[in-house]
Amino acid sequence: MIITTTGTARGGLSRIAAADPPLAVVALCAAWCNTCAEFRQAFEVIAMQRSDVACVWLDIEDDAELCGDLDVQSFPTILAFRGTDIMHYGVTAPLGGVVARLVDELATRAQPLRDVPEPVTALRDGLLARAHAA
């Protein structure tokens, strides 16, 4: 199941703030985006097939306060982090197979990104704060 920051699916958000946190994969999308609507089904499948990964759906407009100054250039954009380590941030093809391979590769990567822009770290921090409050 995909985790959201609002509604009934937000209960799983606390997983990303656990003592031994899973890889959190955040799909940044928008409700008005047809590509995002089609991609959501593929993201649901990825979430169901990888119970060891916390898949979060984040609507950049509904969660505008959380997204802050983040400038999303295209959809879907993927943020992946484990604890405070950011592992990936960037636009991806809206194809389930492409994102599934990315998630699998990130799940085994030990080296976090360096020189991550402040709006990206602020989003991660905001998600972790919500997770602690959940």
pLDDT in tens, 12-69: 788 888 878 899 999 999 999 999 999 999 999 999 999 899 999 999 999 999 999 9
Q: What three-state secondary structure class fits 4?
A: strand
**What pLDDT, on the 0 to 100 scale, is given for residue 110?**
83
As given in the structure block, the two tokens for residue 46 are: 């990825």
**What pLDDT, on the 0 to 100 scale, is given for residue 13?**
82
pLDDT at residue 9 above 70? Answer: no
Work out the pLDDT band at 7, boundaries 50, 70, 90: low
- Mean pLDDT, the chain, integer: 91
pLDDT at residue 74 above 70? Answer: yes
State the Cα–Cα distance between residues 121 and 81, nearest whole angstrom.
10
Residue 119: cis peptide before it, omega within 30 degrees of 0 = no
Structural domains of the chain in order of their starting residue, each with its CATH number: 3-133 (3.40.30.10)
**What pLDDT, on the 0 to 100 scale, is given for residue 14?**
85
**What pLDDT, on the 0 to 100 scale, is given for residue 12?**
75
Mean pLDDT of the region 1-7: 71
**What pLDDT, on the 0 to 100 scale, is given for residue 10?**
52
What sign does the dihedral 40-49-7-130 (CA atoms) show?
negative
**What pLDDT, on the 0 to 100 scale, is given for residue 26?**
97
pLDDT at residue 11 above 70? Answer: no
What sign does the dihedral 109-116-97-8 (CA atoms) show?
positive
Residue 95 is classified by DSSP as -
